[in-house]
Amino acid sequence: MQVAVLGTGLMGAPMARALVRAGHEVRVWNRTEAKARALEATGLTVCLSPASAVAGADFVISMLSDGRATAGLLADAALRAALEPGQTWIEMASARPEEARQQARDVAALGVAHLDAPVSGGTAGAEAGALAIMAGGDAETFAAARPVLLALGRPVHVGPSGAGMLAKLANQAIVGITIGAVAEAMLLLERGGADPAAVRDALKGGFADSTVLQLHGARITDRAFAPGALCTTQLKDMQNALAEAQALGLSLPMAQSIRDRYARLIDAHDEAAEMDHAALFLDLLDVQKPR
């Protein structure tokens, strides 16, 4: 397949490499050209404009910062002129469900199919081609895109347009709340004198075990907060989840609490914006300080 990848940041770059390894012909574009140029050695083609990247592609994968960034891209006249009937646009960044539905309506007017297929698994999952992929949209469109998505991980069709983004918001609420619980558990172990690594090993296979416990528990113990997923992204996703809940007339108190903690962390630590979301532990340390 000919695949265009728009956005080669933390997630887009390893996803592009995974597509190349799977044998697809890949063209990439990024606002900061140097980030895209760094991928040339993998055998893909770097394009100087999004329009040149999408021209003739079977599938266009958008992995920008959020839904507003994608909407801005779709407003570009040159890009719209380059899109052709029969192509499929796959939004894989985190956005709100209504933003995904609006994208679908927008590209449908150009004869282009659409999936909202956000991912979970961070940079490690992207590098390994082992992302969890939650796809919303037409079932036939999903079936046609599945060979491409399989190069990136495990795709599952979760419902109509917007359902992929809703699933991602649920995922991020679970992840954020679990990070908060793991942070508290790691602090309890450290201050109580137990070996956190040994306890994580002891809990493997039990009800408390999870990827968050094993991966982020280790990050917290080692204070290793180089980003796999950014605190700012987690905050955005928690805010989107709460906005969607409000639209449905729902209250999500745990999600609200974690959203507030990420906001406080980013306000209190200048460097937190560029840290992994496991750095929520630092906010927990802050609240232990005498007032």
Determine how many CB atoms are found less than 10 A away from the CB of residue 47. Answer: 20
**Residues 6 or more apart whose Cβ sits within 8 Å of residue 267:** none
Distance CA 144, CA 131 (A): 19
SS3 226: coil
For residue 223, give the DSSP letter.
Answer: T
| Strand partners for 115 | 90, 137
What's the angle, vertex CA 163, arms to CA 135 and CA 229, rounded to 5?
Answer: 65
Annotated catalytic residue 35: no
The CA distances from residue 217 to 4, 83, 179, 247, 270, in Å, are: 36, 44, 8, 34, 23
> Which position among 35, 168, 236, 289 bears the catalytic label?
168
The CA distances from residue 240 to 64, 67, 136, 254, 256, in Å, are: 16, 11, 17, 14, 11
**Residues 6 or more apart whose Cβ sits within 8 Å of residue 127:** 14, 17, 18
For residue 38, give the DSSP letter.
Answer: T
First to last CA, the chain: 60
Active-site positions read: 168
